[in-house]
Chains A and B, each alone.
Chain A
């Protein structure tokens, strides 16, 4: 698997996701500077890491969504290539037109960093095959703007097409109430594109890959990618 991690000024979780990819694949991903206009030849997976691109002084992800390199990312996605956006990466995917909707300020108007459980909605995608459908996993969240909002029609389509990837839940897999940390519509923590090849998610699976640091439930996502790309190759 050939992965490219895009580095925007202000990205700050790029090394976390590089570590997770390396652990799953044994290979070091390429780091691609935001000013580039092309991805390395043969790129299978593009990752937009967490952080505060351009300081997020405008709407989160708004400037990065329009960076040079995003044309190449959009072309990659249009060809059916895999794209994973985590946290700020999810915000960038929404701002860059690759995913619908927008991430608003958290319900309580505060940044939240904590362990958070998610329900895996489906296990038949390139990102989730190592999980089981309906599985509850523990990952981390760390965001101030993770409150997913979209118009009714968009949400209906996301739900109808099975494009909700993960939902916030409690340790027992129950949805709703305080299990939803940021007020996201329908407890949505991550969504797929129409062709299921682009995933945007607020939580950080890349920080749960180590039994000494909270657990290893995040590994499944990177193992899924590794497996699905190995199958292709």
Chain B
């Protein structure tokens, strides 16, 4: 039975998310009215999510190259050389809108999608991370969303069998109607065994592998390219369903046929499913593609060409195989119980031809589908500069001891144990540094090398000053990697912003990209992969600008890394970096004083680099016993975290010329706290003087309490109780 296809009307075009001028562009390109299937294909290829039409112009300014970069943006994931013939493959991607509508499945498919991106390149995934942003804890949906998203991330990663080793969870009312779920995956491959999407050879069979195609997820990418209205739940049918079991089988089967040399080109079916993967393979290889939809393994009968081309069913791959090894590949897939079907061939026509039930449903120029996608230079206005606040204008509302107890127990700064204990972070037996520190460290095989990895962004800084905020997100990521002893090598970004058609939101995007670029250049920390998520807006209100940064660094010897925990009493506590006591946009100002005001701390990239290189040198020379970077909550929060992690207290001295609250809670950048034995501290002071690094002795590790200057000592038990209990108590409360 062939269903009649709907007539192409302006209303239908609009439903497909295509603007009138974009439709005119289509007419001009193909010289006729598109078929219904073709309209679907254009909507899939030309939406914001797939075409980057608002962001491309600005992304081009980012640094993406370095001698160690094997593959930058434009493939399924970025690839860097980590020596000895090893490559690290990684990327971060968002699944924001689906996770708001259906948190468990939205999160699982986010994790599944990013894992697929990594193993499509021939890499075995070794770790996952994430960055989650939820609405205000008081918002009616937040508890449900936290529970669902965390269970979803866990449900997929745990079953797939990759440790989830790190992440970041924050709350803010500006995410009330639009949460962020950014998932990152890291894999290992051999530098000479990386697989790409580019097809080659004419008349080669196109093979479909993995799960069957169903009606789920149709128009998922289009949904990701529009703002939310109040009726977001009605879009639930566009959310896909994740199946980590099938993905695990797909991983093993794909790696097995790659090993056997069967694969010429490979592309996973992610956003815009079969359409995007087939077009990409052909366009990159300067080839045409002809698909025969009668051969597609379908989950249900009666699926139309339109539905098959736009389905976002998960756990599917498209490949071009070496014809001589086709049988071998098929046997591997059958062994793992997966579908294997020849669904088309490569041609020399540069056309994308789709056939179904004896009819040609689409016949489009394949390169133009990608190359001729609209490109916009959206109007943008810079965010007005905020005044620099003086610490003397910020009167402490409570004692500094009470402020510290409050700061370690806020939704943003409290322990996220409740979250990461649901993630299997120990599987594979290589998790050297586990969640809770500055960055995770994962051993490579039996060592001695390891990879450090983390995700970061301080969205309130980005809101106040997008350029400085963008810089700071990169600098903090770099600093967190450095604090473990790793050399930061490259980053992936996930740029979450509001509606690009609003000049203010577009201005935030442009500013953050500028800041990211400046910091990445100064720190030799290129961007090798990424994702843009725009239209994060509900009922006209945008999210905080949130350019998530995922960083990867190399540890030469996993026995020479640093952790945040204090190791012994009687050690010297040192502070690297300059403190002027910057309280504007600080956690102290927001969470203790209740004010989100002022300019955020400026980022001095020269100091950032010098201080970080100094600290890394000390760690690698084993001259320090603990290291922690300073960020939210400043010095006092860093000391409290080190004390709680080690079960050892500290006494902190006052700083002359600074207000106590500015000294303790200021968020000046480029700073680290170190501990060292008395003998080591002497050597470190000499080294710092020689290299012109600002270094101050600020206290001693001792006892079972944290003693701030001129304050009552706070027992570690009090701090830990406050730190550990907020989230479990919140989640236990019947919503």
Instruction: Knowing A10-B248, A55-B243, A142-B424, say if A111 contacts B429 (CB, 8 Å).
Output: no
Check B427–A142 contact: CB distance below 8 A: yes
Interface stretch (choices B60-68, B152-160, B541-549, B615-623):
B152-160
Cβ-Cβ contact count across A and B, 8 Å cutoff: 84
Check A114–B421 contact: CB distance below 8 A: yes
Q: Of the candidates A16, A114, A144, which one forms a contact with B429 in the assembled complex, judged by CB atoms under 8 Å apart? A: A16
What is the bound-complex CA distance between A114 and B248, given in angstroms? 23
What is the bound-complex CA distance between A210 and B160, given in angstroms? 23
Check A142–B443 contact: CB distance below 8 A: no
Instruction: Knowing A207-B429, A212-B558, say if A10 contacts B151 (CB, 8 Å).
Output: no
Cβ–Cβ < 8 Å partners of A114 in chain B: 421
Cβ–Cβ < 8 Å partners of B443 in chain A: 212-213
Is B337 an interface position by the 8 A CB rule?
yes
Is A171 an interface position by the 8 A CB rule?
no
Q: Of the candidates B151, B427, B432, which one forms a contact with A212 in the assembled complex, judged by CB atoms under 8 Å apart? A: B432
Cβ–Cβ < 8 Å partners of B158 in chain A: 52, 111, 113, 142, 144
Check A206–B245 contact: CB distance below 8 A: no
Is B249 an interface position by the 8 A CB rule?
yes
Q: Of the candidates A9, A15, A144, A206, which one forms a contact with B249 in the assembled complex, judged by CB atoms under 8 Å apart? A: A9
Is B730 an interface position by the 8 A CB rule?
no
Cβ–Cβ < 8 Å partners of B559 in chain A: 212
Q: Of the candidates A10, A16, A52, A112, which one forms a contact with B428 in the assembled complex, judged by CB atoms under 8 Å apart? A: A16
Check A213–B429 contact: CB distance below 8 A: yes
> How near does chain A come to B504, taking the closest CB pair, in angstroms?
41
Fill in one digit per residue for B701-722: 1 if any A CB lies within 8 Å of its CB, else 0.
Answer: 0000000000000000000000
Residues of chain B in range 146-193 having any CB-CB distance to chain A below 8 Å: 151, 154-155, 158-161
Residues of chain B in range 387-433 having any CB-CB distance to chain A below 8 Å: 420-432
Is B376 an interface position by the 8 A CB rule?
no
Cβ–Cβ < 8 Å partners of B244 in chain A: 52, 55
What is the bound-complex CA distance between A13 and B429, given in angstroms? 9
The number of residues on chain A lying at the interface, defined by a beta carbon within 8 Å of a beta carbon of chain B, is: 30
Nearest chain B residue, comparing its CB with the CB of A144: B158
Instruction: Knowing A57-B245, A112-B421, say if A9 contacts B336 (CB, 8 Å).
Output: yes
Check A210–B426 contact: CB distance below 8 A: no
Check B427–A207 contact: CB distance below 8 A: yes
Nearest chain A residue, comparing its CB with the CB of B561: A212
Cβ–Cβ < 8 Å partners of A50 in chain B: 427
Cβ–Cβ < 8 Å partners of A111 in chain B: 151, 154-155, 158, 422-424
Q: Of the candidates B249, B336, B426, B558, which one forms a contact with A214 in the assembled complex, judged by CB atoms under 8 Å apart? A: B426
What is the bound-complex CA distance between A52 and B426, given in angstroms? 15
Fill in one digit per residue for B228-271: 1 if any A CB lies within 8 Å of its CB, else 0.
Answer: 00000000000000011110110000000000000000000000
Instruction: Knowing A9-B336, A55-B244, A110-B151, say if A210 contacts B421 (CB, 8 Å).
Output: no
The number of residues on chain B lying at the interface, defined by a beta carbon within 8 Å of a beta carbon of chain A, is: 32
Fill in one digit per residue for A20-64: 1 if any B CB lies within 8 Å of its CB, else 0.
Answer: 000000000000000000000000000000111011110000000
Residues of chain B in range 551-574 having any CB-CB distance to chain A below 8 Å: 558-559
> How near does chain B come to A22, taking the closest CB pair, in angstroms?
10
What is the bound-complex CA distance between A232 and B373, given in angstroms? 71
Instruction: Knowing A51-B161, A142-B427, A212-B432, say if A9 contacts B245 (CB, 8 Å).
Output: yes
Residues of chain A in range 81-137 having any CB-CB distance to chain B below 8 Å: 110-114
Cβ–Cβ < 8 Å partners of A210 in chain B: 429
Cβ–Cβ < 8 Å partners of A214 in chain B: 426
Residues of chain B in range 124-147 having any CB-CB distance to chain A below 8 Å: none
Is A138 an interface position by the 8 A CB rule?
no
What is the bound-complex CA distance between A182 and B558, given in angstroms? 33
Check B422–A55 contact: CB distance below 8 A: no
Check B424–A113 contact: CB distance below 8 A: yes
Check B427–A213 contact: CB distance below 8 A: no
> How near does chain B come to A170, taking the closest CB pair, in angstroms?
16
Is A204 an interface position by the 8 A CB rule?
yes
Cβ–Cβ < 8 Å partners of B426 in chain A: 113, 140, 142, 204, 207, 213-214
What is the bound-complex CA distance between A12 and B126, given in angstroms? 12
Nearest chain A residue, comparing its CB with the CB of B154: A111
Cβ–Cβ < 8 Å partners of A209 in chain B: 429
Check B430–A213 contact: CB distance below 8 A: yes
Return 16 A-B CB contacts under 8 Å, by A number. A10-B159, A10-B248, A15-B428, A16-B429, A52-B158, A111-B158, A111-B422, A113-B158, A113-B420, A113-B423, A113-B425, A140-B426, A207-B426, A210-B429, A212-B559, A213-B426
Known: A9-B337, A10-B249, A214-B426. 15 other contacts (CB 8 A): A9-B248, A12-B159, A13-B161, A51-B161, A52-B248, A55-B245, A111-B423, A113-B421, A113-B422, A113-B423, A113-B425, A212-B559, A213-B426, A213-B429, A213-B432
Pick the 6 closest A-B CB pairs, nearest first. Answer: A12-B161, A55-B245, A52-B159, A142-B424, A113-B424, A140-B426
Residues of B bordering A, CB below 8 Å = 151, 154-155, 158-161, 243-246, 248-249, 336-337, 420-432, 443, 447, 558-559
